[in-house]
Amino acid sequence: MSETTAQDIDRLEGEASLARPYARAIFELAKQQGQYQQWSDSLALMAAVVSNPTMKQMLDNPRLTREGAGELVITACGSDIGESAANLLRMLAENNRLEQLPMIAALYSRLRDEAEGTVEAQVISARPLSDAQKDAIADALKQRLGRDVQLNCSVNEDLVGGAVIRAGDLIIDGSAVEHLRQLSSALVH
């Protein structure tokens, strides 16, 4: 795992402060309309589109107007987003904030999880987890966090063994790589 520098943290906090008002406004709209899932899906799609390297190159073209940028992303998203999401894209493009979509989506997800009393946990393990292991992790996190837990599991063989769990601000690094790093550090000191 790479270390996060102070500069990275400052950049992320800056992005979050720019994205937060949009995420809150979208969350309030979704709440009023009872469309939490639809907005989650739309935001995930829009964030993926603007994060695509080819799309980034197109959006960085100095000849592309802000209005054109918004319409380009709307076209790329296709019919998978509704008119409200298209209007959001137009507004973000007009305010030169399309690059904030991944952070807006992440902040919206946290607001939604909080409102629904759930938390999404990322579990990265060295090998695929069995259903029993997933249940044990979910139960332990539920006890610790006091909320229902939705696991998103992935495999990274570079961990050698163990797992890394991220749930909100909680990070548990039980990977073999981390244990070796700690052992190395202890031996040096």
Please check whether residue 88 is in contact with residue 24, taking contact to mean a CB–CB distance below 8 angstroms.
no
| Domain range annotation of the chain | 6-112, 118-188
Is beta strand 163-167 parallel, antiparallel or unpaired with respect to 170-173?
antiparallel
Task: Report which of residues 127 and 87 the model is more confident about.
Answer: 87
Question: Of all helices (H) and strands (E), which one includes residue 113?
Answer: helix 101-116
Could you tell me the two tokens for 1?
Answer: 């795992």
Question: Of all helices (H) and strands (E), which one includes residue 53?
Answer: helix 53-59
Quick one: fold of 118-188?
Answer: Glutaredoxin (3.40.30)
pLDDT in tens, 72-113: 999 999 988 889 999 999 999 999 999 999 999 999 988 998
Quick one: fold of 6-112?
Answer: Peroxidase; domain 1 (1.10.520)
pLDDT in tens, 38-70: 999 999 999 999 999 999 999 999 999 999 999
